[in-house]
Amino acid sequence: MRVLSGTQPSHDYLHIGNYFGALRQQVALQEKYETLIFIADFHSMNSVRDADERQRYTRAVALDFLACGLDPAQAILFRQSDVPEVCELAWYLSTVTPMGLLERGHAYKDKLAQGQSANHGLFAYPVLMAADILLYRADLVPVGRDQKQHIEMARDMAEAFNRTYDAEVLTLPEPQILDDVAVVPGTDGRKMSKTYDNGIPMFASEKQIKQAVMGIVTDSTPVEDPKDTKSTVFEIWSLFASADDRVEMFKRAGAGGLGYGDVKKDLLRRLLEFFAPMRERRAELEKRPDEVENVLLDGANRARAIGAPILDEVRRAAGFRTCT
């Protein structure tokens, strides 16, 4: 069973929402499946307009995955841009993809609503995403329920190509809905997102992490009054607490006398302890940039070994000369 997952390098850090929402699940895949994880630097061109920033963000994502336990001997970790076959496949798919399918894309509408300028790259984003999946004949693509549409669109494109050229060359992927992912609130109460700049980084300096934690928005309930344990600070704190710890803390909150500042201090302590081993691994890897680069290049070679023969089948079906 082959599983594929990707992460866009759109910032110089991944936050705890990325970790609990996707990264830890992506790393765990390597224990059960043939796993490919790519850093979607082509996709980042819709939001990152500086070449040096893109390279820095891409390295940061690679470091984060390796620090969080991804084993390059088990999983294939690579840069999307190191596999040029994906762009060729995206072109073939674009010629059989109806405009209406792309116009119905939730992500496109959401980006426009957020004020992002409309361009062809943003509009055709699902085509490149489909190519990312179909190039490797991925059986499963782990996604949250809000991303299921992307997999459905990839299936539609694969079916359209197979039907057009009367050849079953593209495998229809299945979404693996991640029901156990946490939707982590940001410091302002909205979903934690780089777009909103409300994240708590995993691997920034302790000063920066402290600043983010202490900046979590709370209400003006006096210390002596009971606290709402469904508020943002308690939701984030709960990610790092055991069931027994939550019972005890929520009891204190209900009784009154517990300040939000005390909860934030305890959250900071737990967060730093939780990520300490990963921070240490990341710091060591950061001293060995050539080693990290070799992991990505080796991953790209392994990914191309899978994808190039599949692309040849696509080329042959469409009437083009094969390359291998």
Q: Domain range spanning residue 100?
A: 2-183+289-318
Pairwise CA distance, residues 282 & 205, whole Å: 12
- Cα distance between residue 60 and residue 20, in whole Å: 18
Q: The domain that contains 107 carries what CATH number? A: 3.40.50.620
User: What pairing do the DSSP bridges indicate for beta strands 34-39 and 76-79?
Assistant: parallel
44 occurs within a structural domain: yes
pLDDT digits (tens, 9 = 90+) for 230-268: 999 999 999 999 999 999 999 999 999 999 999 999 999
What gap in Å lies between CA 228 and CA 226, rounded to an integer? 7
Do 138 and 46 belong together in one domain?
A: yes
Work out the pLDDT band at 208, boundaries 50, 70, 90. Answer: very high
Say how far apart CA 46 and CA 125 lie, in whole Å: 9
Domain membership flag for residue 201 = no
Say if residue 273 is in the same domain as residue 303. no
Does residue 102 lie within any of the structural domains? yes
Mean pLDDT of 277-292: 97
**Is there a single domain that holds both residue 39 and residue 170?**
yes
Do 178 and 220 lie in a common domain? no
The domain total for the chain is 2
Instruction: Give SS3 for 175.
Output: strand
Q: Identify whether 191 is part of a domain.
A: no
Residue 192 included in any domain: no
Give bridge partners of residue 272 from the DSSP assignment: none
Please tell me whether residues 217 and 87 are part of one structural domain. Answer: no
- 78 and 29, same structural domain? yes
Residue 324 lies in a domain: no
| Tokens representing residue 101 in the block | 């399918």
Instruction: Tell me: pLDDT of 181 over 70.
Output: no
Segment 59-88 shows an average pLDDT of: 97
pLDDT at residue 198 in the model = 94
Torsion angle in degrees (nearest 10) through CA of 271, 272, 275, 279:
150
pTM: 0.91
Residue 268 and residue 135 in one domain: no
Q: Distance of CA 45 to CAs 9, 66, 93, 246, 249, Å?
A: 10, 24, 20, 42, 44
Q: Are residues 120 and 237 in the same domain?
A: no
How far, CA to CA in Å, does 179 sit from each of 4, 107, 126, 186, 266?
17, 20, 23, 20, 28
Q: Are residues 29 and 128 in the same domain?
A: yes
- 245 belongs to a structural domain: yes
Q: At what angle do helices 260-286 and 243-255 cross, to 10 degrees?
A: 150
Specify the 3-state DSSP secondary structure of 201: strand
pLDDT in tens, 83-123: 999 999 999 999 999 999 998 877 777 777 777 777 888 88
Q: Is the pLDDT of residue 161 over 90?
A: yes
Q: Is residue 295 domain-shared with residue 269, that is, in the same domain?
A: no
- Is pLDDT of 179 > 70? no
Within 48-193, residue ranges assigned H as helices are 51-67, 85-94, 99-103, 106-113, 120-123, 125-134, 148-164
User: Active-site residues: which are they?
Assistant: 111, 191, 194
195 assigned to some structural domain: no
Residue 242 is predicted with a pLDDT of 96
